[in-house]
Amino acid sequence: MEKLYNGISEGKYSNDEEAMTDLYEKKLNKDSYKKLKYRLQNRLINTVFFIDVNKPNFNEGQRAYYTSQKSVAAIDILLGRGARKTAIELAEKTLRQTLKYEYTELSLNLLKKLSRHYGILEENKKKFNHYRTLTQRYLEIFNAETIAEQLYTNLRFQSKKYSTASDDVVKEAIESTNQLKEYLNKVDSNRFLMIAYLIFSNRYEIVHDYMNILRVCNEALAKFKKKESKSPISIFTFSSKKTDFLIQLKRYNEAEIEILSSLKLVPEGKINWLITNEKYMRMCIHTKDYQKAFNIFTKISSDYGFQPAYKNTIETWKVYEAYLNFFILNGKITPVENQLQTEKFFRINKFLNDVPTYSSDKRGFNIPILIIQVLFLLQQKKYDRIIDKVEALNTYCYRHLKKDDTFRSNCFIKMLLLLPKCNFHRIAVERKSKILLAKLQSVPLEIARQSTEIEIVPYEDLWEIVKHMLDAKFHK
């Protein structure tokens, strides 16, 4: 059992077959493996109740939530075992905490128990009326939160079905927004506001209305910061979202303020902290401060590393690593002595041969991978291999880049396709690419209808580097 647990926690196994083969070698025994896995799962579930919430990686709100959940479970067990007096005392104590931190569902659970107790079993008119009034109030809050959750889930489900927003999705987003605005003056729980403002933001995200997204984020942040019970995750969510669109709009000073503020809200080394630093790197690259982006990358990769559980984040950081190493090769970054190890471990040839990992993603995250692979080959002057990569680019462009939300990527990839056609001759490439460059510049990044993560380096900046890597010779 210990070997199975260690293999899973260390990311050694990606599926049951790998675990079974490692544990039982050639004598594959599915029944024994299933029993072992079941026993391990039950033991792990039991340990959930012994989580040490006093560890530094738990914030105040998280401690209150997990403590309250354990208390509610204990209350149900105590009531089931006939220890009603102890259960009710614990319920009243726990309720004070759940009300303070606005845990609506937990509060409602406790309020119903207390209302019934003081209304039927231990008649106390004052307490019964108090808890009954609170129960009615929290039923209204719970109802509003549930409606918001259903609207948000449905909107996200509908949005994911299409690569671009249909008229029906836009209409539904507007209707959901209008429906939830009716509750804003009645309900102000952290959960309701969080979901409602995510819908308000999504209503503008699907039509790429960046200014209104910023307005919604500012409204949300103002509400959360005014509340007596602060919700760090709610503030982080909208600060992080705001950062994306400030970068898109090239409002870099404001973006940096949001980034530094967001980093204070989340534990170092955890997923949200890594995502925020990823945004910081992207902002630095957009401002051509490549050295600072590299410093961020090397410090985090050496000090913290990346946990196997953060698979998507690791893949994204590998792409950033590729771009940063490309900048090193082109003299845009000068590693200091303690950063040379990071550069040494990046294997260009392995990266060039890797198939993009985002093959099933509809939002175009293959694009920066395919582009940087071509750029590495160009830097190495491996023109014959570029021709092979260009064919893959051409196919990808034809299949996936036909929509407005990938217009800039479409233009830039078509510019790269000109390289072999012009035999990698700088003047010929410049002449042939003029129309495409004009099209690219006609839709600047700040108004482009594309995901903010796709264009790691602004294409105008990349094109200047591409031209400098070309010479006045024809290469066939």
Tell me what pLDDT residue 97 has.
95
pLDDT at 361: 46
Give me the pLDDT at residue 437, please: 95
Q: 113-151 pLDDT, tens per residue?
A: 999 999 999 989 999 999 999 999 999 999 999 999 999
**Alpha helices, DSSP H only, in 161-189?**
167-181
pLDDT for position 436: 94
Supply the pLDDT for residue 359. Answer: 44
Residue with tokens 């959960």: 191
pLDDT reported for residue 28? 62
Angle subtended at Cα 360 by Cα 359 and Cα 364, rounded to the nearest 5 degrees: 70
Which of the residue ranges 22-31, 203-212, 365-374 would you say has the lowest mean pLDDT?
22-31
Both tokens assigned to 241: 């979202």
Strand partners, 425: 471
Whether the predicted pLDDT of 161 surpasses 80: no
Alpha helices in 401-425 (DSSP H): 407-421
- For the chain, how many helices (H) and strands (E)? 23, 0
Whether pTM exceeds 0.75: yes
- pLDDT for 162 beyond 70: no
Mean pLDDT of the chain: 86
Whether 476 has a pLDDT exceeding 80, the answer reads: no
Asked if pLDDT for residue 278 goes beyond 90, the answer is yes
Instruction: Give the tens place of pLDDT for each residue, 432-446.
Output: 999 999 999 998 888
Any alpha helices (H) in 380-406, and if so which ranges? 383-400
User: With bands split at pLDDT 50, 70 and 90, how would you rate the model's confidence at 399?
Assistant: confident
For 23-48, the DSSP string reads: HHTTS--HHHHHHHHHHHHHHHHHHG
331-364 tens-digit pLDDT:
999 887 655 555 555 667 676 666 555 444 445 6
Position 402 scores a pLDDT of 60
For the range 334-337, what are the long-range contacts, defined as Cβ-Cβ under 8 Å and sequence gap of 24 or more? 334/291, 335/294, 335/298
Q: Which residue has the higher pLDDT, 31 or 252?
A: 252
What percentage of the chain has pLDDT greater than the value 70? 89
Tell me, what's the pLDDT at 26? 62
| Lowest-pLDDT range of 53-67, 145-159, 327-341, 453-467 | 327-341
